[in-house]
Structure 1
Amino acid sequence: MQYRGDDFYCDVAIPDPGSLNVVYEDELVLAFHHTRPFWKNHIVIVPKQHIASFTTVTSADEQVVRRLFTVVQSIAADTERTTGAAAVLTNLGEYQDSKHLHIHVHSGPQR
């Protein structure tokens, strides 16, 4: 069944990481292979704390966002090293299907 809510990460991914192909997890951040990948290599990195989007980050989120970007940087570097290229992307507004800050690291052809 396809998820129909507006925050897949709070509703599904964070409470049940065992159902995902996890790349990295700690107390603040979860990274996993996208459940419906758009590219050959497609990893999603999310803060475990709900933050609505990149444009709603505040100084109170500093510790979480620092960790998020450390993990994004590491996964992007690994992707670049293993595939020869990487892109880092986040969406805002109507482009953001799940209303929870999340960052995509991807490479390879679109599926």
Structure 2
Amino acid sequence: MKNDFYCDEVLSGKTLVKRVLETENVLAYYHTRPFYEVHIVAIPKKHISSFLDVTEDDTNIMNEIMMVIRQVASQVTKEYGACKIITNLGSYQDTKHLHWHIVYGDRIRN
């Protein structure tokens, strides 16, 4: 398995991040290399490789992450008037740890 940036760096504390919202099982923080004007990442603290790997055992974590995403998206929308919520699968997913991007604005990187 490739390195998992979220487990290896963010959740371990090796890479410091600007936290937006944190719960017992979820962390939302500003992306360390943003692609958008506003770029927030929401991750479960438990390692789940992909949305396709979510099981019934993950129901509580999924409910919690959806509430965090909703709250962060609401804050971004209130401040900027809009946002996108993005998750990737398969070869589109660079880091094999379930995560969502809550973004606003035009893409600023290739």
TM-score (norm 1): 0.92
Q: Aligned partners of 2:15, 2:78: CA distance in 1, in Å?
A: 27
- Specify whether residues 66 and 17 from structure 1 end up closer, same or farther in structure 2 by C-alpha distance, changes over 3 A only: farther
Structure 1 residues 82 and 17: CA distance shift in structure 2, 3 A: farther
Paired with 1:81 and 1:17, the residues of 2 have a C-alpha distance of 32
The CA distance in 2 between the partners of 1:76 and 1:17, in whole Å, is 27
Tell me how far 1:73 sits from its aligned partner. 0.5
Q: Give me the CA root mean square deviation.
A: 1.3
Among 4, 17, 27, the alignment partner of 1:7 is 4
Query: Is the 1:6–1:97 Cα contact (8 Å) retained in structure 2?
Result: no
Equivalent in the alignment of 2:104: 107
Q: Match of 1:30, as an amino acid?
A: L
CA contact (8 A) 2:9 2:15 kept: no
User: Which blocks of at least 5 consecutive residues in structure 1 are unaligned?
Assistant: none
Q: Which runs of 5+ in 2 are unaligned?
A: none
User: Identity of aligned pairs, percent?
Assistant: 42
CA distance in 1, matches of 2:80, 2:4: 30
2:68 to 67, 71, 75: 71
Which structure 1 residue ranges, 4+ long, deviate > 6 Å from structure 2? none
Q: How far has the Cα of 1:6 moved from its partner?
A: 3.2
Q: Which amino acid aligns with 1:89?
A: I
> What aligned pairs does 1:1-111 form with structure 2 within 5 A after superposition?
5-16=2-13, 19-111=16-108
Number of residues paired by the alignment?
107
Taking structure 2 as the reference length, the TM-score comes to 0.93
- Deviation digits for residues 22-51 of structure 1, max 9, x if unmatched? 111122001100001000000000000001
